Amino acid sequence: MPDYAEKIPNNVDLAGDRRLQRALESWQPNFLSWWDSMGPALPTQDVYLRTAIDVRGEGWAHFGHVPMRDYRWGIFLAERDPDRRVAFGAHKGEPAWQKVPGEYRAELQRLIVIQGDTEPASVEQQRNLGATAPSLYDLRNLFQVNVEEGRHLWAMVYLLHAYFGREGREEAEELLHRNSGSEDSPRILGAFNEETPDWLSFYMFTYFTDRDGKYQLGTLKESAFDPLSRTCEFMLKEEAHHMMVGTTGVDRVVERTAQVMIEHDTDDVTAHGAIPLPVIQKYLNFHYSVSLDLFGGETSTNVANYYTAGLKGRWLEERRKDDHLLADDSMMVEALVEGQIGQNEVSALTGLNTDLRREYIADCAGGVKRWNRILEEAGLPQRLYLPHVAFNRKVGAFAPIEASPSGEQLSADEWAERKRQWLPTDTDKTYVRSLMQPVHQRGKIAAWVAPPRNGINGQPFDYEYVHLS
């Protein structure tokens, strides 16, 4: 159990390694000054936050009001299984690695840096949302997500410091220097340089983009490098709350829109301060398609090498019924075939980004089903949908072409003419932003979103989740 009297709470016996402890203690003030300048901008006294206190079982978190700057960002790895063995690739069956093998150092470091880069990026993207929160409950959830993304940065920085020497320490510094949307030193992956300017975007981001996080962490949890595996396992536990924020956030927007549509017998809910279904669909289209890009190319030699080396596995690797080597297997992946949207047969190893993307897509379909159930139960005929995998892609096989949400291939001119039907326009964004008036009174909620069914940790909706300063 981590000791909260320590400067950096941890369950990795930091006190037993003075050099590492000093190195992380000297990174800590840089983290805090990054948090002060790039973290949540709204001034608060304290927030009802959960803090991890144990990596095991149900009672792993403590809830209480804490000033956000005093949140105890710590280093927590899931418990070590001394018998753990590599589950896939060329090293299958060997004991999991407690150190980084020299031959895989560069690749492992790269994966950890990419993962680490997304965490502070999302905090930066969400920096100004507090000013327009629809309720104190939502405000608290935003801050919970933010402090935990900060902790996930700590998780990757710990690995860089502990296992990658001077280069690792330099990369840890860089994680605080790159910034979301910066011209000179942007974040590494595309979606993390997009804005999150309003709460509909925030819910979509936590549904679609955090869910990429869930799947990527799931593959890194399979890693032969045991400290990476263990840290991802614990991160996934925290991630579940972020998924809940996205899923129920979109639920509540759809629910409110449906209510207004029925109450006023109209599709045009703007006169009543709700968000029209076509606008919700456009936001969904945008966030889903940029999140699909986060899985990399449909075919990738990088991912084949990561897998064979044992660095990054498949989603639920151990449940797969095959040889876990995949050297002789093939699969069909989405591709451009003679310039047309189609499928190609490729080696199963180079298709692993597609394999993961498909798991993710199936999961995303679950959200759409939920939201459509809300529409159905309200008695409305309209439905939301996931756009085609080729729609609005900037990475991978479909980056060179344009396609409609139904998968119809379009010329550049047709795309330019029609994309406003499918992606949020300036008018849509301005309208959504116009609804973003803060509701910071206890028990109150904005008119464009329904209240949640449940509060946090058994507290009611009208609990004082945040004390503003």
Residues near ligand BYC, by CB under 6 A: 111, 114-115, 118-119, 122, 149, 189-190, 209-210, 212-213, 216, 293-297, 300, 302-303, 312, 353, 395
Specify the residue, 181 or 278, whose C-beta has the smaller distance to ligand BYC. 181
Specify the residue, 275 or 294, whose C-beta has the smaller distance to ligand BYC. 294
Q: Mutual orientation of helices 105-125 and 165-177 as an angle, nearest 10°?
A: 20
Contact criterion met (CB below 8 Å) for 293 and 396:
yes
* Strand-pair partners of 385: none
- Minimum distance of ligand BYC from residue 168's CB (angstroms): 16
Task: Tell me how crowded residue 176 is: count the other CB atoms within 10 A of its CB.
Answer: 18
| φ/ψ of residue 95, rounded to 5 | -60, 140
462 burial (CB, 10 Å; 0-12 / 13-18 / 19+) is middle
- Minimum distance of ligand BYC from residue 204's CB (angstroms): 12
CB-based closest residue to ligand BYC: 296
- Minimum distance of ligand BYC from residue 464's CB (angstroms): 27
- Minimum distance of ligand BYC from residue 141's CB (angstroms): 14
What are the residues whose beta carbons fall under 8 Å from the beta carbon of 195, sequence distance 6 or more? 125, 181, 201
Specify the residue, 374 or 397, whose C-beta has the smaller distance to ligand BYC. 397
- Minimum distance of ligand BYC from residue 270's CB (angstroms): 30
- Minimum distance of ligand BYC from residue 211's CB (angstroms): 8
Specify the residue, 207 or 422, whose C-beta has the smaller distance to ligand BYC. 207
Instruction: Indicate left, alpha or beta for 182 from its phi (over 0: left) and psi (-120 to 50: alpha).
Output: beta
Specify the residue, 210 or 251, whose C-beta has the smaller distance to ligand BYC. 210
172 burial (CB, 10 Å; 0-12 / 13-18 / 19+) is buried
Q: What amino acid is encoded at 162 in this protein? A: A
Kindly list the distances between the CA atom of residue 167 and the CA atoms of 98, 99, 160, 189, 257, in Å, as whole numbers in the listed order.
19, 16, 8, 21, 51
- Minimum distance of ligand BYC from residue 302's CB (angstroms): 3
Specify the residue, 68 or 111, whose C-beta has the smaller distance to ligand BYC. 111
- Minimum distance of ligand BYC from residue 296's CB (angstroms): 3
Q: CA–CA separation, 469 vs 418, rounded Å?
A: 46
Q: What amino acid is encoded at 429 in this protein? A: K
Specify the residue, 344 or 425, whose C-beta has the smaller distance to ligand BYC. 344
Q: CA–CA separation, 410 vs 417, rounded Å?
A: 10
Specify the residue, 238 or 255, whose C-beta has the smaller distance to ligand BYC. 238
Task: Tell me how crowded residue 205 is: count the other CB atoms within 10 A of its CB.
Answer: 28
- Minimum distance of ligand BYC from residue 115's CB (angstroms): 4
Q: To which residue do tokens 């403590």 refer? A: 62
Specify the residue, 110 or 442, whose C-beta has the smaller distance to ligand BYC. 110
